[in-house]
Amino acid sequence: MKNGHVPTNDKFIIMNSKERIAKALSISTDTKVFEMGQGVADMTPAVFGKCFPGRKAAIVADIHTWPILGERLYGLFRDAGIETDYYVIDKEVFHADWKYVEMTDHIVEGDYAAAKAVEDAENHVEAEPEKLFREPSDAYDVLVSVGSGVINDLCKLASYHHGQSYVSVATAASVDGYSSFGASITYGGAKQTFNCPAPVAIVADIDVIAAAPKEMTAAGYADLAAKIPAGAEWMIADFVGAEPIVPDAWHILQDHIDDFLADPDGVAAGDPKAIADVFEGLTLSGFAMQAARSSRPASCCDHLFSHILDMSGHRFNGQLQSHGYQVAIGTLAMCAVFDELFKLDIESMDVDACVAAWPSLESEQKRALELFKDMSTPELGYDSITSKYEDARKVRADLNRLVAVWPEFKEKLQGQMYSFAKMQDMLRRAGAPYKPEHIGVTNAQLRDMFPVVQLMRYRYNLLDLAKRGCFYDDVVDPLFASGGAFEI
């Protein structure tokens, strides 16, 4: 159990899955029903009827999820007397591109011909996001998303555009996005998170999820493993007062995360219990995000490596790499950075020298513009550093406090973190990538991502602290030196 430096809250301790889920639902703001277990897909019409009495359903699936579950659900809905339609996205592979949001908007409105036209459009002109909002109406269909990350995000955002919610039926334990606030969609050439509420109901049939392709579950395991360094970076942001820990959001996930990650061999073997644990962990991290109204509980630098790869359209053997696969490498990178941090003699830090070396905002802005100049969003680093830059007085105060409490704070961070060696072993056993080369990234490319990672988000991270304390090179360079985690 990880308590960080958050006061232990008795009500979260010794809970079984049912109690955990009940507690999680009590703090989640959007999701009111979460059914997880073997065979629970059959409950979907009842869940729909309870959440949306009298409304017409529209099942959204793709050519993979329709035969494994969508078609069966369609029959069950009709047997239950619910007026139901369905739309199957006719693509072997598709990504979270904006045009599919517009396609899904048409499905909500029952205009399947328009949906199909957008789906098949070669050179679709993207509509402006603000223009897609409609007044709520009972005349719209309520979506039943049957799939994993992309289909769920499309249904989440299209439902929001129409002022209503939807039911998410999961087909793989591949991402934490089922229950998260927001949808991650590529718009204008860049991956962006659009605010939108999580589904009112999630149905996770472990029989279906355990039969999903192994690499999808491995990706979900890695996305869950990212909550280890993400939690430690939240502790750091809390320490400097940038983003205080939200106790409910912290405890609901972090108190149990070691258990959820405990059986990587079972995950690889398709064991239903191990996979249910991963799914529950991912879902609870979504609830944590709902409670915090932010992705802070679930991601920090570990995810930013993935965002860089998304923005550059990175492919390996011609294939885009899944979110979880990319996050696996970011997670490993941050475990290695924390390993180096724990070796440092922070108590001997020369705070005066660090404050004297602290750059001006102007020079940081210049560095950011130079770093991002060839990227699809050249002003991203500039905006982030402008938002999170702090003056020398604040830097001095934070460093003085860090030095004063380091032994205690270090112990808490160590209680949260896994070493690089441990994390690498767990990812390997789960069948996830455990070296950058497994997703087609060289160690040198990983090294070059670090300065971008530090500056690409307004969010305070470990690398920001390292810059302030003049130990950035001490925690990053050894990773790529002889004998380092990512030796070049």
What are the residues binding Zn ion (CB under 5 A)? 223
Q: How far is the CB of 310 from Zn ion (least distance, A)?
A: 11
Question: CA torsion 232→234→240→242, rounded to 10°?
Answer: 160
Q: How far is the CB of 303 from Zn ion (least distance, A)?
A: 6
Q: How far is the CB of 237 from Zn ion (least distance, A)?
A: 18
The total of other beta-carbon atoms located within 10 Å of residue 474's CB is 15
Helix, strand, coil fractions of the chain, as percent rounded to 5: 55, 10, 35
> Residue 166 carries which DSSP code?
-
List, in order, residues 6 or more apart from 123 with CB less than 8 Å away. none
Rounded to 5 degrees, φ, ψ at 71 are -65, -40
Nearer to Zn ion, 57 or 198 (CB): 198
Nearer to Zn ion, 223 or 255 (CB): 223
Nearest-angstrom CA–CA distance, 358 and 371:
19
Q: Of 212, 204, 328, 205, which is closest to residue 270 (Cα–Cα)?
A: 212
Nearer to Zn ion, 191 or 251 (CB): 191
Helices (H) and strands (E) in the chain, counts: 24, 10
Nearer to Zn ion, 149 or 381 (CB): 149
Nearer to Zn ion, 44 or 254 (CB): 254
Q: How far is the CB of 86 from Zn ion (least distance, A)?
A: 29
List, in order, residues 6 or more apart from 327 with CB less than 8 Å away. 222, 223, 226, 299, 302, 303, 305, 306
Nearer to Zn ion, 161 or 227 (CB): 227
Q: How far is the CB of 83 from Zn ion (least distance, A)?
A: 35
Structure tokens at 368: 């950011």
Nearer to Zn ion, 74 or 221 (CB): 221
List, in order, residues 6 or more apart from 79 with CB less than 8 Å away. 45
Asked if 30 and 51 count as a contact pair (C-beta separation under 8 A), the reply is no
Q: How far is the CB of 330 from Zn ion (least distance, A)?
A: 10
Q: Could you tell me whether strands 183-187 and 190-194 are parallel, antiparallel, or unpaired per DSSP bridges?
A: antiparallel
Asked if 417 and 488 count as a contact pair (C-beta separation under 8 A), the reply is no
Angle between helices 361-372 and 380-388 (to 10 degrees): 160
Angle between helices 44-51 and 71-79 (to 10 degrees): 60
Nearer to Zn ion, 223 or 280 (CB): 223
Nearer to Zn ion, 99 or 227 (CB): 227
Q: How far is the CB of 285 from Zn ion (least distance, A)?
A: 8
Angle between helices 301-311 and 227-239 (to 10 degrees): 110
Nearer to Zn ion, 223 or 263 (CB): 223
Nearest-angstrom CA–CA distance, 20 and 440:
38
Q: How far is the CB of 323 from Zn ion (least distance, A)?
A: 6
Q: How far is the CB of 321 from Zn ion (least distance, A)?
A: 13
Nearer to Zn ion, 243 or 390 (CB): 243
> Residue 12 carries which DSSP code?
G
Alpha-carbon Rg for the chain, nearest whole angstrom, is: 23
**Residue with the CB atom nearest Zn ion in the bound state:** 223
Q: How far is the CB of 301 from Zn ion (least distance, A)?
A: 13
Nearest-angstrom CA–CA distance, 361 and 369:
12
Q: How far is the CB of 54 from Zn ion (least distance, A)?
A: 36
